[in-house]
Structure 1
Amino acid sequence: MDTPKSKKLEIIIPAFRGHSQNFLMVLDGISEEDAVKRIENRTNHIVWMVGNFLDMRYALGFVLGLKEEFEFKDFFFQGKALDESLNYPALQQLKESFHKISPLVYNRLLEVSDEELDKAFPMGMNIDFFPETVLNFVGMCIGREDYLSGQIGLMRRILGYEGMKYDFDKNLKY
């Protein structure tokens, strides 16, 4: 395992890499047609969930100092609600964005210092037990990725696909 400069991220590094693996495995075999299906017009579709996952990755990169911009942010920025009037990007396009941003964010996670993680990062939550810092934003992003992977996994089963296989790719280094 890669060792981060900040010991505060020792638990984040394997989680981030695990989420990268889960992201790819949970999407394995999902067709473009199924990726935009909703259940009883009450759920978000998989493409929206994937876009939101990527919005988290890009936001994480931004707070860590990266200048990469998510080309599809107008669809997904800050959990923007699903809009059925929009033509969302294809699942394949989103996967390409995933492979673009993920190694960059991963490398920044390895390089970031304690001082950078301790910096204030106002989120407007105003919760007394939750200091609004870069470190806590990192944790929130990781939690959101967990949630979205679970949602995609559930949609996968509802749409008639097999459960996710845990065929980890040891060559994926992010």
Structure 2
Amino acid sequence: MDTPKSSKLEIIIPAFRGHSQSFLMVLDGITEEDALKRIDDKTNHIIWMVGNFLDMRYALGNVLGLKEEFEFKDFFFQGKALDENLKYPTLKQLKDNFHEISPLVYHKLLEVSNEELDKAFPMGMNIDFFPENVLNFLGMCIGREDYLCGQMGLMRKILGYEGMKYDFDMNMKY
């Protein structure tokens, strides 16, 4: 494993890399058609979940100083509700965005200092046990990614796909 500049990220870095792997494995074999299906018109579709996952990746990058902007931000920014009247991007387009942003964010995670992680980052939560700083924002993004991978895993099963395989790609370094 690469060693981060900040020891505060010794948990975040493996989680980030694990989520990168889970993201790709949970989507393995999902068709473009199935990625737009909803269950009883009550759930978000996989495309929305993937887009929200990517919105987290871009948010991580932005807070760490990256200037890259998610080309499909208008569909997904801050968990924007699913709109059935929109023509969402394809799963392929979103996967391409994933492969573009993830290595950049990973390298920023390795480079960030303790001082940068301790900087105030107002989130408007106003919870006394939750300091609103960059480190806790990173943790929230990682938690959201985990949640979304779980949702996609459930959708996989509901749509009749096999459960996710844990075939980690040891050559993927992000």
Q: TM-score, normalised by structure 1?
A: 1.00
State the shift of 1:60 in Å.
0.5
Q: For residues 127 and 85 of structure 1, what CA distance do their matches in structure 2 show?
A: 36
Tell me the amino acid that sits aligned with residue 28 of structure 2. D
Residue in structure 1 matched with residue 132 of structure 2 by the alignment:
132
State the shift of 1:168 in Å.
0.4
Tell me the amino acid that sits aligned with residue 40 of structure 1. D
State the shift of 1:130 in Å.
0.4
Residue in structure 1 matched with residue 74 of structure 2 by the alignment:
74
Per the alignment, in what secondary structure is the counterpart of residue 141 of structure 1? helix
State the shift of 1:63 in Å.
0.4
Q: For residues 161 and 105 of structure 1, what CA distance do their matches in structure 2 show?
A: 31
Give the gaps of 5 or more residues in structure 1.
none
Deviating above 2 A after TM superposition, structure 1's stretches of 4 or more consecutive aligned residues are: none
Q: For residues 90 and 76 of structure 1, what CA distance do their matches in structure 2 show?
A: 13
Residue-by-residue CA offset, 1:18-72 (whole Å, 9 max, x unaligned): 0000000000000000000000000000000000000000000000000000000
State the shift of 1:94 in Å.
0.1
Residue in structure 1 matched with residue 65 of structure 2 by the alignment:
65
Tell me the amino acid that sits aligned with residue 62 of structure 1. N
Residue in structure 2 matched with residue 158 of structure 1 by the alignment:
158
**RMSD value, Cα:** 0.3
Q: For residues 139 and 12 of structure 1, what CA distance do their matches in structure 2 show?
A: 7
Identical pairs, percent? 85
Give the gaps of 5 or more residues in structure 2.
none
State the shift of 1:129 in Å.
0.6
Per the alignment, in what secondary structure is the counterpart of residue 68 of structure 1? coil
Q: TM-score, normalised by structure 2?
A: 1.00
State the shift of 1:122 in Å.
0.4
Residue in structure 2 matched with residue 146 of structure 1 by the alignment:
146
Q: For residues 146 and 70 of structure 1, what CA distance do their matches in structure 2 show?
A: 20
State the shift of 1:117 in Å.
0.2
